Amino acid sequence: IILTIILTICLLTGCRKHTMPDDFNISFQFGTTDDTMITIDTYNQIISRGIDQSNCLTFKISADDKKDIYDRMIEDILHGYSGAYHGPTTEGGENLKFSIKYTSRKHTDIITGDYTTFSCEKKDTKTLIDFRDYMIDYVKGTKEYAKLMNG
Q: What is the pLDDT of residues 52-98, one digit of tens each?
A: 888 899 999 999 999 999 998 888 766 555 556 655 555 555 678 88
Burial degree of 113 (CB within 10 A; 0-12, 13-18, 19+): buried
pLDDT band for position 118 (cuts 50, 70, 90): very low
Task: Give the per-residue pLDDT at 112.
Answer: 80
Q: What is the pLDDT of residues 8-62, one digit of tens each?
A: 544 444 454 678 999 999 999 998 888 889 999 999 999 999 988 888 999 999 9
Task: Give the per-residue pLDDT at 143.
Answer: 95
| 114 membership: H or E segment, kind and range | strand 107-114
Task: Give the per-residue pLDDT at 64.
Answer: 95
Instruction: Give first-to-last CA distance, the chain, whole Å.
Output: 55
Task: Give the per-residue pLDDT at 61.
Answer: 95
Q: Please, which residues bridge with residue 83 across strands?
A: 111
Task: Give the per-residue pLDDT at 117.
Answer: 40
Higher pLDDT pick, 148 / 77:
148
Per-residue pLDDT at 110 exceeds 70: yes
Say if residues 128 and 110 touch (Cβ distance below 8 Å). Answer: no
Q: Using CA atoms, how far apart are residues 32 and 51, in angstroms rounded to an integer?
A: 11
Phi, psi of 87 (to 5 degrees): -175, -175
Instruction: Kindly report the length of the chain.
Output: 151
Say if residues 78 and 131 touch (Cβ distance below 8 Å). Answer: yes
CA quadruple 40, 46, 51, 53: dihedral, nearest 10: 170
Strands 83-86 and 94-95: unpaired
